[in-house]
Amino acid sequence: MQSFRTELENPIVEQDIIDLERKIRAFREGKIHDEKFRSLRLARGVYGQRQPGVQMVRIKLPFGKVTFKQLLKIADIADEYGSGNLHLTTRQDIQIHYVSLDRTPQLWAELEKDDITLREACGNTVRNVTSSPNAGIDPQEPFDVSPYAQATFEYFLRNPICQEMGRKFKISFSSSDADTAFSYIHDLGFIPKLNEKGERGFKVNLGGGLGAQPLLASIVEEFLPEDQLIPYIESIIRVFDRYGERNNRNKARLKYLVQKLGLDEVLRLAKEEHLALKVKSYPINRDAVPQPAIPESIAAQPVHIDNPLRYEQWLATNVFEQKQKGFYGVYVKVPVGDIHTPEARKFIEAVKPYVADEIRITQNQGLLLKFVRKENLEALYAGLHALDMAAPGFDSVADVTTCPGTDTCNLGISNSMTMAKVLEDVIFNEYEDFIYNREIKIKISGCMNSCGQHGLAHIGFHGSSLKAGARVLPSVQVMLGGGTVGDGLGRAAERVIKVPSKRATDVLRTLLNDYKEQSIEGETYHAYYDRQGKDYFYRLLKPLADLTTLTDDEFVDWGHQETFATAIGVGECAGVIIDLVATLLYEADEKLGWANGAYAKGLWADAIYHSYNTFISSAKALLLDKGINTSTQAGIIKEFDANYVETGELPLATNFNELVLQINKHEPSEAFATAYKAQATQFLEAVKTKREAVLQS
């Protein structure tokens, strides 16, 4: 592997990539355990695929913003290192598949030259900060949330408090009360507000999440002043880091901590962290994300539209007037979120004359173009149509969201990508009037984990399997009644019935036919679903669940030729913790080294938190010697007192709880950083001495 020491201008990024290169080499030489290495590479955006020997690389694009140059660079990278395909995700990232692990440092270095990072795109970290794609041009927005999303991304990237949490942490910013960034399914979701004085702030949702057990967030603040945004997020993350579950990854999200401790207790603990915060007020640079340069006016040229009806449909469903008068935003529907690299380059060439140099990736795996002049809409449509990228019905019933499913994901149970295309074909060919319906959302996931967001769909499907005698066939769980209500409120879809996957098209036909026949004029899908009731839909769809009428074709999944067989690997949605004493002591040394490095730079808060983690890793190592494997950092502190301090096996001047939790009893000053780091150093040496005595006894 080549060194990147002289190729990058940012020494922090350079060191990150060099570190990844060294760790890959150590892993290949058997010096790092597989599980520990998995956690390390995930935090650097490198994710194992279903196919052995290759990786998916996730590129972290804060709030989905990407320039022409960056998109072209990503396309070049996908050709050089991957399969020549860009996959747009529901968290506004771009994924590249089929990448060799050994080439990931080079890939990362190439991306960083255009200010694109992989850091913390996966793993037990703060994931990509998302926002409404139309932020900045939304006619309904009180103000542009983009600078706030950018500030959040920058503040928590490489921040010591969120590098090795129990699991991932997700944050969103909606542009208005329409809540198009789904605040209600996030660990923290923010909706912009203006108070009676015209001051900026946010309504705050806390503790939401989808997954196998969707839970809706609680509204905890009606108006959080803008300068308190970053301190508030940090205090919540600190609580999650200390008290969150670490052994059972199925219970390791903030929503379960809220269930376990209670919402009031989580908020009380967050207030206890206030003294220790790096900043008590954090003014946001409102100019951090300036609007892109408006394209020069181009005189309208005669354009031949071969299908005027389709153009009118496109105008009605994919185009809207921005808050900047005279300019239009244009949505581009991208089937299943896949853009092949030749198409990506032609796309940039086609739109560049007419749109601003800023594209936003949308949560339903599409693209948003900005600042299009009215006189250029026809020419833009013609350019997109020539690339087969002018399909109408963006974000409508005909725009199905899906995860990669069994195409590349370890956790996929049944195919979702091909099924999404088939369902869209049903809409366009049989229910064309539904392309105007932007209320009802259809979403598909390849398994129960909701990467395709089926848990917030009006009509959702997730991959599963069914047994028919001695045979197994692909199936889908049908979910109904979910979706956004608005202003922080939402609904989780309900499980209604499970049917063979090949019958998903008939499920859709049955549901849409019934809606057309039984809904009252002007009635929303939520009102229609509530009026009819879950049992009504179970009975409506029950004939499609009859397994006595199966055909051989139904034992073959969408997009496959072979007979279906369940083959689920180990999920990597977040890192796995490895409980080996030697590894933990090695980590404690490493964390103390980070503390010393931060201290040398005058970063007192960072040095303190690295020292805190030194205490935790050291204590956990000794607890494992006694076979005690606690699932939270708070549990480690408690058990270490009970098993080592109170028994006199490792005497301290005070109890371990008081020693460690000095962290939230002091301001992050130089004096406290000096004392606390010295105590962590002394404690680690005592633990090593104790460990050595155990090994020699």
pLDDT of residue 40: 76
pLDDT of residue 581: 81
pLDDT of residue 1: 45
The pairs formed by 343-351 with CB atoms below 8 angstroms and a separation of 24 or more are 343/387, 343/389, 344/71, 344/72, 344/74, 344/75, 344/86, 345/72, 345/75, 346/387, 347/384, 347/387, 347/389, 348/68, 348/71, 348/72, 350/380, 350/383, 350/384, 350/386, 350/387, 351/380, 351/383, 351/384
Q: Which residues pair with 478 in a beta bridge?
A: 461, 497
How many angstroms separate the CA atoms of 697 and 672, rounded? 37
Q: Which residues pair with 473 in a beta bridge?
A: 466
In CATH, what number does 130-276 get? 3.30.413.10
**pLDDT tens string 600-628:** 999 999 999 999 999 999 999 999 888 89
How many angstroms separate the CA atoms of 613 and 346, rounded? 49
Other Cβ atoms within 10 Å of 686 Cβ, number: 16
Element (H, E) at 464: strand 459-468
Q: What percent of the chain has pLDDT over 90?
A: 78
Q: Which residues pair with 331 in a beta bridge?
A: 368
CB 109 within 8 A of CB 33: no
pLDDT of residue 574: 44
Mean pLDDT of 22-35: 79
Question: What CATH superfamily is the domain 581-696?
Answer: Nucleotidyltransferases  domain 2 (1.20.120.330)
Task: Please report how many Cα atoms fall inside a 13 Å half-sphere around the Cα of residue 571, on the Cβ side.
Answer: 17
Is pLDDT at 248 greater than 60 in this prediction? Answer: yes
The SS3 assignment for 491 reads strand
In the 8-state DSSP scheme, what is residue 134?
Answer: T
3-class secondary structure per residue, 245-277:
CCCCHHHCCHHHHHHHHCHHHHHHHHHHCHHHC
Place of tokens 């808060």: 605
How many angstroms separate the CA atoms of 458 and 440, rounded? 6
Is pLDDT at 569 greater than 60 in this prediction? Answer: no
In the 8-state DSSP scheme, what is residue 293?
Answer: P
Among the listed residues 578, 579, 574, 586, the one whose alpha carbon sits nearest the alpha carbon of residue 34: 578
**pLDDT tens string 435-453:** 999 999 999 998 888 888 9
Is pLDDT at 509 greater than 50 in this prediction? Answer: yes
How many angstroms separate the CA atoms of 198 and 220, rounded? 21
Among the listed residues 491, 313, 308, 463, the one whose alpha carbon sits nearest the alpha carbon of residue 398: 313
Q: What residue segments make up the domains of the chain, in order of their start?
A: 11-112, 130-276, 308-386, 405-555, 581-696
Domains 405-555 and 581-696 share a fold: no
The SS3 assignment for 472 reads strand
Mean pLDDT of 461-479: 92
pLDDT of residue 48: 83
Mean pLDDT of the chain: 92
Helices (H) and strands (E) in the chain, counts: 20, 22
Mean pLDDT of 144-155: 98
Q: What percent of the chain has pLDDT over 70?
A: 96
Is pLDDT at 419 greater than 70 in this prediction? Answer: yes
Q: At residue 338, what is the residue type? A: D
**Confidence tier at 352 by pLDDT (50, 70, 90):** very high
**Confidence tier at 170 by pLDDT (50, 70, 90):** very high
Compute φ and ψ for 411, nearest 5 degrees.
Answer: -90, -10
What residues contact 326, with CB distance under 8 A and at least 6 apart? 373, 374
Is pLDDT at 57 greater than 90 in this prediction? Answer: yes
pLDDT of residue 200: 98
Is CATH 1.10.3720.10 the classification given to domain 405-555?
no
Mean pLDDT of 480-491: 97
Mean pLDDT of 29-57: 80
pLDDT-wise least confident of 197-206, 300-309, 656-665:
300-309
Compute φ and ψ for 372, nearest 5 degrees.
Answer: -90, 130
Among the listed residues 546, 521, 455, the one whose alpha carbon sits nearest the alpha carbon of residue 493: 455
Mean pLDDT of 574-599: 77
pLDDT of residue 403: 87
**Confidence tier at 5 by pLDDT (50, 70, 90):** very low
Is pLDDT at 406 greater than 90 in this prediction? Answer: no
Is pLDDT at 259 greater than 70 in this prediction? Answer: yes
CATH of 308-386, one of 3.30.70.3340, 3.90.1310.10, 3.30.460.20, 2.40.10.10: 3.30.70.3340
Is pLDDT at 65 greater than 90 in this prediction? Answer: yes
Residue 243 CA, distance from chain mean position: 22
Is pLDDT at 572 greater than 80 in this prediction? Answer: no
Among the listed residues 595, 604, 596, 599, the one whose alpha carbon sits nearest the alpha carbon of residue 278: 604
**pLDDT tens string 634-670:** 999 999 999 999 999 999 999 999 999 999 999 999 9
The pTM assigned to this predicted structure is 0.93
pLDDT of residue 211: 84
pLDDT of residue 579: 38
How many angstroms separate the CA atoms of 656 and 411, rounded? 40
CB 530 within 8 A of CB 481: yes
Is pLDDT at 696 greater than 80 in this prediction? Answer: no
pLDDT of residue 37: 78
pLDDT of residue 20: 85
Mean pLDDT of 301-326: 94
**Confidence tier at 586 by pLDDT (50, 70, 90):** confident
Among the listed residues 321, 448, 452, 362, the one whose alpha carbon sits nearest the alpha carbon of residue 181: 362
Is pLDDT at 287 greater than 60 in this prediction? Answer: yes
CB 222 within 8 A of CB 203: yes
Among the listed residues 336, 415, 421, 330, the one whose alpha carbon sits nearest the alpha carbon of residue 90: 336
Hey, what CATH class is 11-112 in? alpha beta
How many angstroms separate the CA atoms of 526 and 152, rounded? 34
Is pLDDT at 404 greater than 90 in this prediction? Answer: no
What residues contact 246, with CB distance under 8 A and at least 6 apart? 166, 252, 577, 631, 632, 633
Is pLDDT at 567 greater than 60 in this prediction? Answer: no
Residue 337 tokens read as: 């979120």
